[in-house]
Chain A
């Protein structure tokens, strides 16, 4: 018989439960596995993409326009590649991440280039889209991205978030507004209605500090703001930027209801040494909180004078708070050192008659309160002024609290009163001529019995004959500093390489006088090197960097018939430096009037124009037979092409599809219309349609994609140049805007020449 029996459980139910939990476990593990794999796959993909993008970005950042031809080709290839890549959102995201990461690690010009690249690739447009999101974290990320990548154009988009109700966005927007533009701080202080946290204020001040060439506005303008946090922040900024032109406003703010503002105002006044604030500081003391009292006393210790000592001593007497009382004592001692001496637990030794006779020290023991002898305060004569003892009979007696009681009080008539020299600071120091001989009684003043002066502290002033300054007095030596400097340069241990040994003249041609710089005696051009190599030059040589002037191609003699030599723009140098005859200074060429006019026009186009002038220039080139004009036009076209290809390459690419007449029609068409237009483009399209077709090749609709592919192939086949029309040896990259005109060939050959010259 069993008293306790196990409950009967249906085994089927048990199996069902086991199966259920088993399935649940399986689902759980599968889910975990799936997401883990997905995350690691994405991570791997991102890493792979970053590795792919890294050299591209490096190439863009360190691209040298004067680099080799292969470098230029690589650069152009990479530009095309990266343009293809940024069509995909994933690639754009990774690219943005890479640029943001690199921004943290690089500085200087590379960082500026990074910002430029970010904008050129139009990644900031993604950040703009983020600003439109309804999710706060996305908006915040967008603002951060735009701020960190210094997209100044985003200022107007961001500052509307300054009063956003979501604090994260608001704070991000505040930071962005202050960061992006110098006037952002003013906009922020004018418009913000929310509170500004302490941490945010610190960050904003940090941001302002890091701004280069920032001219702070007068922050006193915001001391009248209705937002207390703005007032507080303005006070901090005033203090930080030492704007002491708002003392009156700050003094008023000491009476503000808000303790923090009060505190900050007191600190400002203390920083600016605003002694005129002392009466206000004393007035607000009575009703201030303990914390504020501490600040007030601290400020008073810096700003108050001797006449404010009674006020402080009254605080010592009446204040109940221990720390306020201590602070007041500290303030007294700051204003008048060692007025209050340590007295607690100090054993008083009876003074012997000898000690009294010495008369160098005296002590007036003041009892602070009756019945509390341990808290007595002693007023001590300063130790560092021995002998400055003054006894004034019939004068007011200093009471134990340091007050000078009014006449008719408990003053003992005729009793001598001793005062410290600190208390007589208002009296003028009147001494006889023999004061330096020792202590003398002051004549004519019967009340003052004895005045002792020690003048050890005075500086010894002696008349000394002024030494002659040779550089100023002697005409002959006026140029000597130059000589010394030159000599010093020669003595520097720097290795040199002779850049133009052919320019070296005979070192015996004449001794160089250090006092005068004679250019005829310049002999050798040196460039500083940090290695071994060249011997140290003679002392007489002057080092001038002429490398740029004397490049071999430019150093040609001016000839008589050079005026007729109008084959192309050239600069002849004729630097005649006397007898040496090695140098050539530039000589002018004069063009005929008609060429001159055209050249002036071209100069203006070059200065003011851009790649949009190319068609006009081409037309002008075709209509003008002069090789000078044509050469000039080719140069300008080449320049505009380069500029268009480097700085605004990506923007230029964006405009290209707009050139196509189909672009706008396609944008407003449905699928069927698009297909028809594509057929049309295949038949009549030219190079203008190529970028548009390339875009359509990536279209989401497979039919459009297929048709665009076919149209692109047709157009490209039609545009392919015939072998006999191609300029021989031309390595210029194929530009979609290239035509087959004579001018294009000319421009192409000019480009080739340019590239060869710069290789």
Chain B
């Protein structure tokens, strides 16, 4: 079965649009959410194959989102966190909560594609 359902959560519209375009071009079906609330709503009805989320979002941060996916939903969906605040604390807390990968801004779209593909391959 082809795993290509991707949830992209980022409040930065420009970057999100850019990444969405690239993901679509790579053959993914992308659902874009601009805040944590939207993500939660989406996850109640859908189970994407991978989640790519910004760490700083309105309503719920990326870290809280990981907690929600891992603890509340009990899902093992791979989560890749994007953040401009790539400090050690953020990275560690993201991995503690169960993030599968972490990438700091500025993001290389090509690199992100590879990371996403790798995570999907692992599952």
Contact = CB atoms under 8 A, between A and B. Distances in A.
Given A105-B12, A530-B118, A530-B121, A61 B18 contact: yes
Contacts of B18: 54, 57-58, 61, 102, 105-106, 110
Contacts of A61: 18
Nearest to B122: A530
B13 A54 contact: yes
B15 A106 contact: yes
Contact of B108 (A59, A106, A531): A106
Given A62-B21, A102-B18, A108-B109, A531 B121 contact: yes
B73 interface: no
B105 interface: yes
A110 B109 contact: yes
Nearest to B82: A105
A636 B80 CA distance: 46
Nearest to B118: A530
Given A58-B22, A62-B21, A530-B121, A50 B14 contact: yes
B46 interface: no
A530 B25 CA distance: 19
A531 B117 CA distance: 10
A58 B21 contact: yes
- The binding surface of chain B is classed by DSSP as helix
B21 A55 contact: yes
A125 interface: no
A102 B108 contact: no
- Which of A98, A104, A105, A108 is most buried by chain B, counting CB atoms within 10 A of its CB? A105
- Which of B18, B21, B25 is most buried by chain A, counting CB atoms within 10 A of its CB? B18
Interface string B37-72: 000000000000000000000000000000000000
B27 to A, nearest CB: 13
Given A59-B21, A62-B21, A105 B108 contact: no
A101 interface: yes
A87 B47 CA distance: 45
A110 B108 contact: yes
A210 to B, nearest CB: 13
A50 B109 CA distance: 20
Interface residues of B, number: 20
Contacts, number: 61
Interface string A6-25: 00000000000000000000
Interface in A85-102: 98, 101-102
Interface string B1-40: 0000000000011110110011001000000000000000
- Which of A62, A109, A111 is most buried by chain B, counting CB atoms within 10 A of its CB? A62
A589 interface: no
B88 interface: no
B13 A111 contact: no
A62 B112 CA distance: 14
A98 B13 CA distance: 11
A671 interface: no
Interface string B85-123: 000000000000000000001111111000001100100
A107 interface: yes
Interface in A323-353: none
B17 A108 contact: no
Interface string A107-148: 111110000000000000000000000000000000000000
A758 interface: no
B73 to A, nearest CB: 25
Contacts of A530: 117-118, 121
A586 B108 CA distance: 40
A51 interface: yes
Nearest to B18: A58
Interface string A43-55: 0000000110011
B117 A107 contact: no
Given A54-B18, A55-B21, A107 B13 contact: no
Given A55-B17, A102-B15, A105-B15, A62 B22 contact: yes
Contact of A108 (B12, B84, B108, B121): B108
Contacts of A108: 108-111
Nearest to B3: A531
Interface in A403-453: none
Nearest to A106: B106
Interface of B: 12-15, 17-18, 21-22, 25, 84, 105-111, 117-118, 121
6 contacts: A58-B17, A59-B21, A62-B21, A108-B108, A530-B118, A530-B121
The 10 A-B pairs of least Cβ separation, nearest first, read A108-B108, A530-B121, A58-B21, A107-B106, A54-B17, A107-B108, A105-B15, A58-B18, A110-B109, A106-B106
Given A54-B17, A530-B121, 6 more contacts: A50-B13, A58-B17, A105-B84, A106-B15, A109-B108, A109-B110
